[in-house]
């Protein structure tokens, strides 16, 4: 091998190393492999006098209610009425159920159909309703 | 003389003055009358007369107004009375309707109570029937056993002497004892209905140490691999994951079944050229799925109270159409939404599955044969699943 070829090989190796250095390692850290919900970043505060009217869809359901519920929609009307739909999956067959009634808010929280009030909190365009058997995080939507 | 003359002149002067006065009076007499008449006209009629006239007119107007108002007040009073009567009649009708509704509701309540009483009576009758049937079946079984003992069997095996039958069958009574509330064998208890806010949903408790059917939540699952190469390390990852499994975290026998699979062509490493090369090496056109079949679970430490466990999943991995036995250590926990979280990692040689080890520039840049395959899965209980 001539001296010229040796220098060419050295130059190629150096270029490859430089090129490799330009491409950084992109290994996902072990503790970042799991999909993380963004709801945890919201800062909720009690909102007893929140103007509740509007459409909401659930972002997260936790607690025992999450075993049966897959999705929840609430339409709160300004006149104190509400309509709701909830998605369940009994025996693996998804289906919506619907209901309606009345809502009121007080210092104690949100009361549906005159039942015991539950804690109502809000973050930006979000609600969090804490019931004895589950917590529901809702995001405000629009009625088309 | 002069004095006389002056007297005469004075007398004449006085006469002249008188004559002039008379003459002037005669001349201007008419004008003076005219001026007097004009003054009388300007003064107008007698104010007292006018005032009297005004008072008289006011009295007439007042009389007419009193007459008119009196009629209107009468009409207004009549109208108000009619309206009050109409309202009263409407209110009476409403009260009558409400009374009828209340009576109807009371009748409905009475009817419901009657239906409820009939249903309870029927339930009691059914309970008695079931108890009677159970007793009859037990009696029949005892009789059949006695018959079997009495009649020789056609089979070659000689009959065994009939053992004395314990008198376990209670005598049939006219009023059978109530049937206990336990379910019949093999039947599953019906899912109870509970409520969450305004929803009526099946009440299900997550019991970590009980067997359940689980289904993966694709939106919350990731699988991937970490690889090392000459120049740098990288991760391939995909969220196109699906699968289901049946598991009992507390079962020492580890009788798990299930499968997890991902779309091989959706694995991405962050570099397009490398992804294309990876798909060629995995031959995703012919073998689009990477499949992990669960054979059993070897439990390690299980803490049912904290809902945590670890152990090893034993199964088979299929990559590029090649299936090999694998063992993946996993950690299991439960998140706030009662979903099972399964995290695991294991080493794997891609050459074992017929995947060519990537190499570039005549072997100058090579990827290590062994990669670290990992899973980060979330699965939820299949509601209504049987244990």
Q: Contact, A122 vs A139, CB < 8 A?
A: no
- In a domain? residue B312: yes
Q: What is the DSSP letter of A36?
A: -
Mean pLDDT lowest for which of A21-30, A62-71, B303-312?
A21-30
**Cα separation of B91 and B78, whole Å?**
20
Give B290's pLDDT tier (boundaries 50, 70, 90): very high
Three-class DSSP category at A88: strand
CB pairs under 8 A between A and B: 136
Interface check for A87 against chain B (CB to CB < 8 A): the answer is: no
Please provide the distance, in angstroms rounded to a whole number, between the alpha carbons at the two ends of chain A.
76
Which pLDDT score, from 0 to 100, does residue B65 have? 87
Chain B positions in Cβ-Cβ contact with residue A19 (cut-off 8 Å): 231
Among B303, B387, B379, B377, which residue's Cα sits nearest to residue B345?
Answer: B377
Chain B positions in Cβ-Cβ contact with residue A60 (cut-off 8 Å): 337
Among B268, B224, B221, B226, which residue's Cα sits nearest to residue B243?
Answer: B221
Give A121's pLDDT tier (boundaries 50, 70, 90): very high
Whether residue B135 is found in the same domain as residue B234: no
Q: How many domains does chain B have?
A: 2
Could you say which of A27, A37, A90 has the minimum Cβ distance to residue B235? A27
- In a domain? residue A32: no
In the predicted model, what is the mean pLDDT of chain B?
78
Q: Contact, A26 vs B270, CB < 8 A?
A: yes
B223: β partners: B238, B375
Instruction: Extract the tokens encoding B21.
Output: 């006065």
- In a domain? residue B244: yes
Chain B positions in Cβ-Cβ contact with residue A38 (cut-off 8 Å): none
- From B125, B154, B183, the end of a domain falls on B154
Q: What is the DSSP letter of B361?
A: T
- Please report how many Cα atoms fall inside a 13 Å half-sphere around the Cα of residue A18, on the Cβ side: 6
| CA–CA min distance B189, chain A (Å) | 14
Whether residue B134 is found in the same domain as residue B222: no
- In a domain? residue A44: yes
Chain A positions in Cβ-Cβ contact with residue B277 (cut-off 8 Å): none
- In a domain? residue B26: no
| CA–CA min distance A69, chain B (Å) | 7
Q: Contact, B165 vs B146, CB < 8 A?
A: yes
| CA–CA min distance A124, chain B (Å) | 22
**Cα separation of B117 and B131, whole Å?**
21
Instruction: Give the chain B residue nearest A36 (alpha carbons).
Output: B220
- In a domain? residue A98: yes
**Cα separation of B345 and B372, whole Å?**
7
Q: Contact, A19 vs B360, CB < 8 A?
A: no
Instruction: Give the chain B residue nearest A88 (alpha carbons).
Output: B201
- In a domain? residue A5: no
Three-class DSSP category at B229: strand
Whether residue B370 is found in the same domain as residue B229: yes
B365: β partners: B360
Instruction: Give the chain B residue nearest A65 (alpha carbons).
Output: B196
In the predicted model, what is the mean pLDDT of chain A?
84
| Residue B166 pLDDT greater than 50, yes or no | no
Instruction: Give the chain A residue nearest B365 (alpha carbons).
Output: A16
Q: Which residues are CB-contacts of B175 (< 8 A; sequence separation ≥ 6)? A: B128
| Residue B379 pLDDT greater than 90, yes or no | yes
Instruction: Extract the tokens encoding B323.
Output: 């299936």
- In a domain? residue B290: yes
Residues spanned by the domain of B129: 45-154
| CA–CA min distance B299, chain A (Å) | 22
Burial of A65 (0-12, 13-18, 19+ CB in 10 A): buried
- In a domain? residue B110: yes
- Answer yes or no: do A16 and B226 touch at CB < 8 A: no
Q: Which of A24, A35, A37, A102 to mutate to test the interface with B (most CBs of B within 10 A)?
A: A35
**Cα separation of B39 and B32, whole Å?**
11
The mean per-residue pLDDT over the stretch B235-264 comes to: 91
- In a domain? residue B196: no
Could you say which of A16, A65, A92 has the minimum Cβ distance to residue B196? A65
Rg (CA), chain A: 27
Instruction: Extract the tokens encoding B285.
Output: 């056109």
Which pLDDT score, from 0 to 100, does residue A4 have? 67
Helix (H), strand (E) counts: chain A = 2, 9
- From B154, B179, B196, the end of a domain falls on B154
Q: How many domains does chain A have?
A: 1
Backbone angles phi, psi at B188, to 5 degrees: -105, 140
Which domain CATH number covers A113?
2.40.128.280
Interface check for B203 against chain A (CB to CB < 8 A): the answer is: yes
Q: Contact, A39 vs A127, CB < 8 A?
A: no
Three-class DSSP category at B386: coil
Q: What is the DSSP letter of B221?
A: -
Q: What is the DSSP letter of A30?
A: G
Please provide the distance, in angstroms rounded to a whole number, between the alpha carbons at the two ends of chain B.
181
Interface check for A129 against chain B (CB to CB < 8 A): the answer is: yes
- In a domain? residue B172: no
| Residue B176 pLDDT greater than 70, yes or no | no
| Residue B323 pLDDT greater than 90, yes or no | yes
Chain B positions in Cβ-Cβ contact with residue A98 (cut-off 8 Å): none
Q: Match 């109270």 to its residue by tokens.
A: B305
Instruction: Give the chain B residue nearest A93 (alpha carbons).
Output: B383
| CA–CA min distance B374, chain A (Å) | 9
- Answer yes or no: do B383 and A24 touch at CB < 8 A: no
Mean pLDDT lowest for which of B121-135, B232-246, B274-288, B316-330?
B121-135
Q: How far is CA B77 from the centre of its chain?
A: 56
**Cα separation of B49 and B55, whole Å?**
10
**Cα separation of B234 and B133, whole Å?**
71
Which domain CATH number covers B364?
2.40.128.110
Q: Between residues 20 and 49 of chain A, which touch chain B (CB distance below 8 Å)?
A: 20-21, 23-28, 30, 33-35, 37
- From B131, B154, B177, the end of a domain falls on B154
- Complex confidence, ipTM: 0.75
- In a domain? residue A109: yes
Give percent of chain A with pLDDT exceeding 70.
82
- Answer yes or no: do A62 and B235 touch at CB < 8 A: no
- In a domain? residue B356: yes
Three-class DSSP category at A98: strand
**Cα separation of B235 and B224, whole Å?**
7
Residues spanned by the domain of A44: 38-141
Whether residue B146 is found in the same domain as residue B275: no
Which pLDDT score, from 0 to 100, does residue B151 have? 34
- In a domain? residue A89: yes
- In a domain? residue A129: yes
Interface check for B343 against chain A (CB to CB < 8 A): the answer is: yes
Interface check for B374 against chain A (CB to CB < 8 A): the answer is: yes
- In a domain? residue A122: yes
């Amino acid at each position: 091998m001539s001296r010229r070829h040796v220098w060419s090989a050295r130059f190629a190796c150096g270029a490859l190393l430089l090129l490799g250095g330009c491409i950084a390692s992109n290994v996902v850290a072990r503790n970042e492999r799991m999909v993380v919900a963004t709801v945890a970043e919201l800062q909720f505060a009690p909102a007893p006098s929140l103007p509740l009217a509007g459409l909401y869809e659930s972002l997260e359901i936790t607690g025992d209610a999450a075993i049966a519920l897959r999705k929840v929609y609430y339409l709160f009307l300004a006149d104190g009425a509400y309509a709701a739909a909830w998605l369940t999956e009994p025996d693996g067959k998804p289906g919506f159920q619907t209901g309606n009634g009345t809502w009121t808010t007080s210092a104690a929280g949100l009361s549906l159909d005159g039942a015991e009030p539950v804690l109502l909190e809000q973050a930006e365009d979000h609600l969090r309703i804490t019931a004895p058997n589950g917590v529901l995080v809702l995001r405000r939507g629009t009625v088309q | 003389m002069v004095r006389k003359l002056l007297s005469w002149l004075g007398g004449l002067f006085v006469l002249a003055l008188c004559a002039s006065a008379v003459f002037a009076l005669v001349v201007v007499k008419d004008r003076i009358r005219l001026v007097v008449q004009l003054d009388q006209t300007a003064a107008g009629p007698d104010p007292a007369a006018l005032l009297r006239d005004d008072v008289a007119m006011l009295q007439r107007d007042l009389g007419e107004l009193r007459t008119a108002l009196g009629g209107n007040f009468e009409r207004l009073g009549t109208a108000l009375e009619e309206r009050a009567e109409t309202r009263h009649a409407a209110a009476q009708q409403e009260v009558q309707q409400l009374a009828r509704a209340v009576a109807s509701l009371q009748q409905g309540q009475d009817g419901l109570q009657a239906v409820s009483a009939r249903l309870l009576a029927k339930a009691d009758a059914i309970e008695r029937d079931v108890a009677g049937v159970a007793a009859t079946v037990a009696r029949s079984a005892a009789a059949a056993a006695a018959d079997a003992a009495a009649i020789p069997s056609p089979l070659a095996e000689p009959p065994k002497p009939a053992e004395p039958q314990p008198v376990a069958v209670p005598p049939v009574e006219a009023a059978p004892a109530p049937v206990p509330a336990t379910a019949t064998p093999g039947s599953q208890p019906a899912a109870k209905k509970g409520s969450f806010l305004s929803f009526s949903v099946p009440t299900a408790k997550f019991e970590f140490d009980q067997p359940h059917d689980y289904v993966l939540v694709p939106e919350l699952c990731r699988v991937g691999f970490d690889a090392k190469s000459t120049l740098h390390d990288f991760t391939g990852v995909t969220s196109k994951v699906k699968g289901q499994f049946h598991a009992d975290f507390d079962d020492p026998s580890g009788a798990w079944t299930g499968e997890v699979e991902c779309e091989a062509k959706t694995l991405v490493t962050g570099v397009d050229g490398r992804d294309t090369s990876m798909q060629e090496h995995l031959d995703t056109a012919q073998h689009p799925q990477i499949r992990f079949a669960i054979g059993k679970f070897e439990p390690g430490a299980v803490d049912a109270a904290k809902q945590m466990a670890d152990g090893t999943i034993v199964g088979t991995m299929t990559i590029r159409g090649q299936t090999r036995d694998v063992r993946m250590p996993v950690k299991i926990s439960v998140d706030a939404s009662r979903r099972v979280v399964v995290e695991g990692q294991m080493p794997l040689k891609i050459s074992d599955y017929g995947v060519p080890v990537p190499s570039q520039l005549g072997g100058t840049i090579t990827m290590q044969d062994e990669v670290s395959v990992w899973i980060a899965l979330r699965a939820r209980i299949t509601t209504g699943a049987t244990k």
